């Protein structure tokens, strides 16, 4: 049996994770950027609460205390939004009451400039298996096209557990390692360009083909894709037409063609982040392949060479995208939108690059 199991869609991911949670004995370590008290989040919380594991801990980013359904609480008077925020707080209070430790990563505190400094990791370590990918725990995230990979390997699980422990104690350190034949990247928001060097190298190494799916890719990762295109590889980038961050779509419409990258727009919102290189090497994780990942976010990425996983990814992800995505239409292009997107993202990159992390972790109930 393969160590790798591709889980496309929240339903497949949650069903598989629940099976592991129900039989866990030693540890359940859960980390997400978004963990909301709606139906999706409550289902995950309930599965954690009934797990018999001795060590049950949850890390959620402070994003969840400020943003619900992609909307800033401080900027909204919507009663339903604030009711869901209250339900989220109550859900975490129940987790704590059930003996599950809960901490918040990268607290914003009283400094709103720290908002972009997010811990963007998505991770489950359940005994000797680890889950990596892009799925957050909320209704709107569960509705998006996304994926996780389950890796049944004690050495990989230990490596991921060590990263969780470092985040838990507020002392993360960037790490790259080859574990059981898999290249793993743990970027912590400090020294990220060096941590992401293996990912940049992989994206620029294609000789025959490179197929990437991501909603928010920007420089320097798109620049690496362009290197592969210049070296003769057929490079295709799948990104959503209904993007919840349309500035990135406008940026890609401006730069993809000039970079030799074929841009294909998906009809649905995809939140998956993965790249298949020469039909042999799969890159996936929590990174959106964007400048924020490269600058300040905490991320996990795995570079995997496994024929079975590659075949599953091609069949379950790429074939539907190839059939369902379409070339940009004339109405998708806007000269003003392109100029604004390129300038805006470069300005944001410079601003984010000036930020420095403060406190890295805090118990859930503390502000």
Q: Where are the domains of the chain?
A: 4-172, 175-352
CB 144 within 8 A of CB 136: no
For 100, the token pair is 């599950």
148-193 pLDDT tens trace: 999 999 999 999 999 999 999 999 999 999 999 999 999 999 999 9
268-311 pLDDT tens trace: 999 999 999 999 999 999 999 999 999 999 999 999 999 999 99
Q: Mean pLDDT throughout 353-362?
A: 92
Number of helices followed by number of strands (H, E) in the chain: 14, 18
Ordered alpha helix ranges (H), the chain: 10-23, 39-49, 63-66, 79-97, 139-143, 154-168, 192-195, 197-203, 221-230, 246-255, 291-295, 307-313, 319-324, 335-353
Question: Other C-beta atoms within 10 Å of 63: how many?
Answer: 21
Would the pLDDT of 1 be above 80?
A: no
d(CA 305, CA 228): 19
- Give the CATH architecture of domain 4-172: 2-Layer Sandwich (3.30)
**Residue 39: burial class (beta carbons within 10 Å; 0-12, 13-18, 19+):** exposed
Burial string for 266-301 (b: 16+ CB within 10 Å, else e) reads beebbbbbbbbbebebbbbbbbbbbbbbbbbbbbbb
114-132 pLDDT tens trace: 899 999 999 999 999 999 9
Integer angstrom CA distances of residue 310 from 5, 226, 290, 307: 10, 22, 23, 5
CATH number of the domain located at residue range(s) 175-352 in this protein? 3.30.870.10
The two domains 4-172 and 175-352 share their CATH topology (first three levels equal): yes
Q: Percent of the chain, pLDDT > 90?
A: 95
Helix, strand, coil content of the chain in percent (nearest 5): 40, 25, 30
pTM of the model: 0.97
């Amino acid at each position: 049996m393969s160590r790798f199991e591709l889980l496309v869609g929240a339903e497949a991911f949650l069903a598989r994770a629940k099976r592991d949670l129900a039989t866990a004995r030693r540890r359940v370590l859960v980390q997400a950027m978004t963990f909301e008290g709606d139906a999706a989040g409550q289902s995950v919380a309930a599965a954690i609460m009934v797990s018999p594991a001795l060590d049950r801990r949850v890390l959620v980013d402070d994003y969840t205390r400020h943003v619900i359904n992609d909307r800033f609480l401080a900027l909204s008077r919507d009663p339903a939004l604030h009711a869901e925020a209250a339900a989220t707080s109550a859900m975490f209070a129940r987790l704590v009451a059930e003996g599950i430790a809960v901490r918040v990563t990268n607290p914003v505190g009283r400094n709103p400039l720290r908002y972009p400094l997010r811990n963007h990791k998505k991770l489950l370590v359940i005994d000797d298996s680890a889950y990596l990918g892009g799925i957050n725990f909320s209704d709107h995230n569960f509705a998006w096209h996304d994926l996780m990979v389950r890796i049944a390997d004690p050495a990989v699980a230990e490596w991921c557990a060590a990263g969780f422990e470092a985040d838990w104690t507020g002392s993360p350190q960037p790490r790259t390692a080859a574990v059981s034949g898999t290249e793993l990247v743990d970027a912590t928001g400090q020294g990220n360009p060096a941590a992401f060097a293996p990912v940049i190298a992989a994206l620029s190494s294609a000789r025959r083909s490179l197929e990437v799916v991501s909603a928010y890719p920007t420089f320097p990762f798109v620049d690496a894709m362009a290197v592969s295109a210049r070296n003769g590889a057929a490079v295709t980038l799948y990104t959503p037409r209904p993007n919840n961050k349309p500035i990135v779509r406008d940026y890609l419409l401006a730069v993809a063609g000039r970079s030799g990258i074929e841009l294909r727009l998906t009809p649905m919102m995809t939140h998956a982040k993965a790249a298949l290189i020469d039909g042999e090497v799969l890159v996936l994780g929590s990174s959106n392949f964007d400048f924020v990942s490269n600058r300040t976010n905490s991320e996990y990425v795995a570079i995997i060479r496994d024929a079975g996983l590659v075949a599953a990814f091609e069949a379950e992800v790429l074939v539907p995208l190839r059939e369902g995505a379409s070339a940009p239409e004339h109405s998708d292009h806007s000269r003003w939108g392109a100029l604004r997107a390129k300038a805006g993202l470069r300005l944001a990159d410079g601003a984010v690059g000036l930020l420095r992390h403060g406190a890295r972790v805090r118990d859930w109930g503390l502000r």
